[in-house]
Structure 1
Amino acid sequence: MSEFFQSNAEVILRRWPAVAERLLAEDSGALQADLVEGLGSTLSINGIQLTSRHDRTREARLQADSLPADSPAMHVYGTGLGDLQLELLQRPGVERLHVHILNGAVFALVLQLLDQQAWLADSRVELHYAADLREICLPFFALPSELVLADDYNAKIRDRLISETHLAFNNREFVADNPEIAERLQDNIQQVRADSDAAQLFATHTGEPVFVIATGPSLEQHFEALRSIRSQHARPLFICVDTAYRPLMAQGIKPDVVVSIDQRISLQHLPADDSAGTALVYMPLVDPVVLSGWEGKRYVAYSASPVFRELREQLPRAELHVGGSVIHPAVDLAVKMGAARVTLFGADFAFPNNKTHAGWSDGDLGPQLGASRHWVLDGHGQRVKTQLNFRSYLCELERYIAARPHVEFYNSSRAGAMITGTIFHPEFS
């Protein structure tokens, strides 16, 4: 135990004994740590610099400037080398500074190497493990290095932080004055007038079980079971996302409802052949060729997006929740139809077994497997490859589930991402 660690640990033990106990159990010896020098110096952990190696103080000042100057309470995710904490504590209006540990082993190592008492002993500071709280807190600054280094325990909070940070960028295409969107909405306005309101489906299956079927690789494990259940007289309602429609039909599994929201969905994904008897719930960005060819009944819905503001005023229709993926309105539709139990199939948000989607070739529906640089924990607690937007979609679904305790949510597979708030289905998983 270094002299620095003993002094730092005494402060933490006095103020946050439970945190101190956990830090003492961290295995910082497993980390590859190096001193990196430039105009100044910093610590590199597993090849990731914790801070600037040239001017840590100036970097911390830039980071602090991104937070509101008049906020009495702020949150820092990641402990770094303490520079940002010290910078924020210089503000006279700060009443509380919450510091959230994203990697316990990294912080334990820093405590061995550097004196951190100046901010740890400040009465305005509160120290937590980030994932001890289920949700992120605002306003925050997340140290970029520790978003990369976040450990398994704090991975869910890391994903929420990254999703929040990227929100404005991800929404940049979905603005009301986007000419392509305006043109698509205009192309579909007559179809919207003619088709039914999705609200007509609400409360039509109150208290019943519903299957919501997505296109994750684990869906392939359930084709046989779904085909058998589909043939039964008394069975759950089958709602699928648009990209799952073709793989299901190829397996002889005809869904009751298909949900589609994306302007990139084409007849390749939703072929009109044999679509009679399957309802299509859509948002008006869907390709008009797909809509005009669909043989089953069509229902219109909007999201809360400003994209639909004018159309919503002209032609009021029901609203479905959207969080970046078609899985969100599909689940919301099931809940608004009255489902007491929603079972998710193919909701993997990851690439288990080194595959991207069920029923599609690598790259057909987005980036190829080789482009994946991120991970989530699967239902076995193991890391599985994913892509960044999938983690954001997962975050939004977990938030949705947490807000609806009256509905039971089941996950049919452990192969994909662990979905907080769901129960592994005893028959399917």
Structure 2
Amino acid sequence: MVSSPDNKPESMANPPEPQRLDFMAENFAILSRRWPELARHIEKAADNLPPFTLVEKTDRTLFIDGIHLASAYNRQAEAQLQASMVPDGSPCAHVYGMAIGDLPRILLKRDSIRELTVVVMNCAVAALSLYFFDHRDWLDDPRLTLVAAAPTDRIKEPFAVAPGPLQLACDQASRLRDLVCLELATPFIRKRHRPDNPHLQKRLTENSEFVANDPSFTELTASSRYRTVVVAAAGPTLSDHYAWMKDHKPGPIIAVDAALKPLLQAGIVPEVVVTIDGHADVYDLFFADVDLALLRESALVYFPVVQNQTLQHWPGRRYAAWSKAPIFADLTKRYPRSALFSSGSVIHPAVDLATRLTGENIILAGADFGYPNGQSHVAGCAQAQPVQGSHWVLNSHGERISSIPNLRAYLRDLEGFIAGKNELKFFNASPEGAAILHTELLTELP
């Protein structure tokens, strides 16, 4: 127990006076009475505390593993700002991250609140907070429910977020952390894809003739059906699968554009290549120095914002596609066609395309969503370089691999898409890459 003198946090074994610094006994008494199972988890987590320092500025806070648990200068203003995410008059709310208790305390002052659920994102961080700060007032409020984050939790609205605990989320809370971060970032992401984006509008104009004359991707999917389809992404582990992809090919390969060069260098010609990105240099990076003669029998599925050179030089069949993003709204009216799922990454429409080509199995190869062995992409990709992400995801061994917020967001959106495809089996071929919910690890070819 943290409240035991022998188990006090080491750096506070002789706390300064006169301010009181040990509230664990009183806090824990309420916790044990109301949520005994959670109390046991926190008690166990207290045996393995992260590095921390008690900070005394304008306000008292904790500096844990390089992150401030709350503001050291104006905790109340910070909590008020976060509480504003919950609309006035809401009868219920969720809070992600307990922090020092300021945020739930402010929300519980609202007469309209009838139910408040506070989600603990890291039990060890909660133990430190319970030791150093008095939480008794809000912990004992009958409207409160306190729970620990679980790997399969979904976001519940309306919600507010304590940023410190979100960044300090433990392994079992990492998926929920990513979902919360993605939800917070969504309004800013949408701004990049507004219909009035001049760069994307220019691309649509340049490619209008191709879009008008090329068939929809649905013509590609209508004519063929396969037992198994392989989606080749450009993660570092893609090269681990060249042998079976080449020698024991279980089905057609749909390659994302960044994986094209490495696959061709390995002697593997994909049946389909998917490209969607409107960035200026995608053609130069992924297509310019490829032996296009190898791809005469391959199909290109593209979004109309890609570089015009890609469409001009592709030697095989081309199929136009788009997502439900606002930038394609006018096109959808002029050319009513089905849309492919896309939430920022080319792997999304590639996987959606695969679901339309099979009624059984989809294998994801190189879908790493992180940097196994400190590499950004598979060797041979123009973007491949040593890298160390500032964030992390769990791989299929339960180990942390470095990542970045974009990749984490793409992963969670893909998981959400796969969750709606219960009729199919998805296999993750790359245990060293990110664990992907709703997939099985590939142990033998289906």
> Fold match, TM over 0.5?
yes
- Are 1:16 and 2:31 an aligned pair? no
Matches within 5 A, 1:45-64: 45-64=64-83
- Are 1:248 and 2:263 an aligned pair? yes
Work out which of the residue numbers 160, 168, 171 in structure 2 matches 1:152.
Answer: 171
- Are 1:374 and 2:394 an aligned pair? no
Q: Deviations over 1:32-67 (max 9, x none)?
A: 232211122212222322111222222212221232
Measured in 1, the distance between the counterparts of 2:143 and 2:96 equals 16
One-letter amino acid of the counterpart of residue 251, structure 2: P
The alpha carbon displacement at 1:113 in A equals 2.4
Measured in 2, the distance between the counterparts of 1:13 and 1:133 equals 25
Q: Deviations over 1:298-343 (max 9, x none)?
A: 1111100010000111122221000110000000011122341100
Measured in 2, the distance between the counterparts of 1:192 and 1:243 equals 22
Report if the CA contact (8 A) 2:342-2:349 is conserved. Answer: yes
Report if the CA contact (8 A) 1:242-1:258 is conserved. Answer: yes
- Are 1:335 and 2:355 an aligned pair? yes
Matches within 5 A, 1:90-109: 90-109=109-128
Change in 2 beyond 3 A, CA 1:428/1:379: farther
Work out which of the residue numbers 290, 304, 309 in structure 1 matches 2:329.
Answer: 309
Report the 3-state secondary structure (helix = DSSP H, G, I; strand = E; otherwise coil) of the residue aligned with 1:131: coil
Work out which of the residue numbers 256, 261, 275 in structure 1 matches 2:295.
Answer: 275
Matches within 5 A, 1:36-75: 36-75=55-94
| 1:319 alignment counterpart | 339
Measured in 1, the distance between the counterparts of 2:35 and 2:63 equals 27
Of the structure 1 ranges 205-214 and 335-344, higher mean CA displacement relative to structure 2 is found in: 205-214
Measured in 1, the distance between the counterparts of 2:90 and 2:218 equals 42
Report if the CA contact (8 A) 2:120-2:146 is conserved. Answer: yes
Report if the CA contact (8 A) 1:28-1:109 is conserved. Answer: no
Work out which of the residue numbers 371, 393, 396 in structure 1 matches 2:410.
Answer: 393
Measured in 2, the distance between the counterparts of 1:204 and 1:424 equals 30
Measured in 1, the distance between the counterparts of 2:48 and 2:273 equals 52
Report if the CA contact (8 A) 1:42-1:49 is conserved. Answer: yes
Report if the CA contact (8 A) 2:151-2:176 is conserved. Answer: no
The alpha carbon displacement at 1:173 in A equals 1.9
One-letter amino acid of the counterpart of residue 191, structure 1: F
- Are 1:135 and 2:154 an aligned pair? yes
The alpha carbon displacement at 1:267 in A equals 4.7
Measured in 2, the distance between the counterparts of 1:209 and 1:370 equals 33
| 2:9 alignment counterpart | none
Measured in 1, the distance between the counterparts of 2:120 and 2:225 equals 43
- Are 1:218 and 2:233 an aligned pair? no
| 2:6 alignment counterpart | none
Change in 2 beyond 3 A, CA 1:141/1:421: same
| 1:298 alignment counterpart | 318
The alpha carbon displacement at 1:174 in A equals 1.1
Gaps of 5+ in 2: 4-21
| 1:351 alignment counterpart | 371
Q: Which runs of 4+ in 1 moved over 6 A?
A: none
| 2:100 alignment counterpart | 81
| 2:8 alignment counterpart | none
Report the 3-state secondary structure (helix = DSSP H, G, I; strand = E; otherwise coil) of the residue aligned with 2:192: coil
Measured in 2, the distance between the counterparts of 1:40 and 1:184 equals 52
Report the 3-state secondary structure (helix = DSSP H, G, I; strand = E; otherwise coil) of the residue aligned with 2:206: helix
Q: What is the aligned residue count?
A: 422
Report if the CA contact (8 A) 1:222-1:428 is conserved. Answer: no
One-letter amino acid of the counterpart of residue 392, structure 2: W
The alpha carbon displacement at 1:92 in A equals 1.0
Measured in 1, the distance between the counterparts of 2:182 and 2:124 equals 24
- Are 1:191 and 2:191 an aligned pair? no
Report the 3-state secondary structure (helix = DSSP H, G, I; strand = E; otherwise coil) of the residue aligned with 1:344: strand
Structure 1 length as normaliser, TM-score?
Answer: 0.93
- Paired-residue identity, %: 38
Gaps of 5+ in 1: none
Q: RMSD of aligned C-alpha atoms?
A: 1.9
Work out which of the residue numbers 375, 378, 400 in structure 2 matches 1:383.
Answer: 400
Measured in 2, the distance between the counterparts of 1:254 and 1:29 equals 50
One-letter amino acid of the counterpart of residue 258, structure 1: V
| 1:365 alignment counterpart | 383
The alpha carbon displacement at 1:405 in A equals 1.3
Of the structure 1 ranges 326-335 and 168-177, higher mean CA displacement relative to structure 2 is found in: 168-177
| 2:253 alignment counterpart | 238
Q: Deviations over 1:201-236 (max 9, x none)?
A: 335444611111101110111112211124xxxx41
One-letter amino acid of the counterpart of residue 336, structure 2: P
Structure 2 length as normaliser, TM-score?
Answer: 0.90
| 1:426 alignment counterpart | 443
| 1:263 alignment counterpart | 278
Report the 3-state secondary structure (helix = DSSP H, G, I; strand = E; otherwise coil) of the residue aligned with 1:141: strand
Report if the CA contact (8 A) 1:267-1:290 is conserved. Answer: no
Measured in 1, the distance between the counterparts of 2:87 and 2:208 equals 42
